[in-house]
Amino acid sequence: MKTPLTQALAAATLLAAGGADAAERKEAQQVVRAGSQASSAGPEANFTGRVKVEMLWPSNERSQASGAYVSFEPGARSAWHTHPSGQRLLVTAGTGLVQEWGKPVQEIHAGDTVWCPPGIKHWHGAAPGTRMTHLAVTGMADGKGVEWLEKVSDEQYNAR
C-alpha cells in the first residue's frame, strides 16, 4: 500500500540516490597549480626553529592521506610526535636528521625515504648546517594525522 509517507520516502530515496549518483559523476580529475595552496609557518608549539609547511593536497574520503612539502632551516626540527596512521617522508633537498625514540639519530639525504609506522615516537628536521625539505604523505585516522609530544632538546638534537 502506498501511503503519502511511503511515497514521500520513496521520492526522498530517489532524490538521495540521484544526488549521490550526480556527485559520483561530477568528481572530475583536478589539477591544482603550483603555489596556489596555503603555506604556513610550523607553529612554535610543535617546532624548534624556522619551518615552512606548503600544503600540496588534503586528505579526502577516497584517499585518506594529505601531502605537503616541509622545509626546515638549518638546526630546525619538529617536536617529538607520533602518527596514528603512519607517515611517508621523501627528502627532496638538503640533509636532514631523523630519530626514533631510544635509537640513534640518522642522517637523511635527498632521495631517501622514511617510513614512520603508526604510534612510533620520533622527530625529523634539518641537519645543523643545511636546510632540508621533505615531502610528507601523512595518513589520517579519525581526521587526525599527528599527536604532538615534547620538544627535542638541544642535547637530544646534538647527540651524535
Contacts with a copy of itself, residue ranges (CB under 8 A): 27-35, 56-57, 60, 62-63, 65, 67, 85-86, 88, 90-92, 98, 100, 103, 106, 108-118, 120, 122, 135, 137, 139
Q: In degrees to the nearest 10, what's the CA dihedral of 123, 128, 131, 132?
A: -30
To the nearest whole angstrom, how small is the minimum distance from the Cβ of residue 51 to a copy of itself? 19
How many other CB atoms are found less than 10 A from the CB of residue 146? 18
Query: Max CA-CA distance within the chain?
Result: 79
Residue 79 beta carbon to a copy of itself: minimum distance, rounded to whole angstroms = 16
Residue 1 or 23 having the CB closest to a copy of itself: 23
What is the closest distance, in whole angstroms, from the C-beta atom of residue 84 to a copy of itself in the complex? 10
State the DSSP code for 79. Answer: P
**What b/e readout covers 100-111, taking b as 16+ CB neighbours within 10 angstroms?**
eeeeebeebeee
Nearer to a copy of itself, 73 or 100 (CB): 100
